[in-house]
Amino acid sequence: MAASTAQVLSLYRKLMKESSKFPSYNYRTYALRRVQDAFRANRSVEDPKMVEQLLNQGRDNLDMIRRQVGLPQTHAHTHTLVHVRTKLFQQGLKYFDAHSKILFFHHNNFSKEMFSINRPT
């Protein structure tokens, strides 16, 4: 059975969708990036046997990602700082430094000291 473009694209879409479900930032970005790079690298493969083999590898990887994503995630939630910072930035907060605990307000320069907060011990 010759593999069609539609099959390849469908597999790609499924892989990207499943990969985006990883709760861990590092695993998620790695999976998305790796899938994309692997499909790009094999873009010009002509031999149908090779294509079929690669597609089977892709399907095995899809199953693996489904299993890993479906693992119970009670302790696996890891929001790293980069992840949170991009979210906050999107919400319109200009800069939030979790460690030095100073919130910068865009407009009031004098209130920088006003709102510096010591971490409650």
**How many alpha carbons fall within 13 Å on the CB side of residue 101?**
6
Which of 29, 35, 52, 56 touches other proteins by CB under 8 A? 29
Nearest to 85 by CA among 99, 74, 73, 106: 99
- Who's near 94: CB < 8 A, 6+ residues apart? 104, 105, 106
CA dist., res. 111 & res. 94, Å (int): 15
Verify binding: residue 27, other proteins, rule CB under 8 A: yes
Decide: 95 and 104 in contact? Cβ < 8 Å. yes
**What's the min distance (Å) between Cβ of 7 and other proteins?**
23
Which of 10, 17, 20, 30 touches other proteins by CB under 8 A? 30
Verify binding: residue 31, other proteins, rule CB under 8 A: yes
Verify binding: residue 42, other proteins, rule CB under 8 A: no
**What's the min distance (Å) between Cβ of 15 and other proteins?**
13
Residues 46-65 touching other proteins, rule: CB under 8 A, are 61, 64-65
Report how many residues bind other proteins under the rule CB under 8 A.
33
Nearest to 104 by CA among 90, 117, 91: 117
Q: Which residues bind other proteins (CB under 8 A)?
A: 22, 25-27, 29-31, 34, 37, 61, 64-65, 67-68, 77-82, 84-86, 98-99, 101, 103, 114-115, 117-120
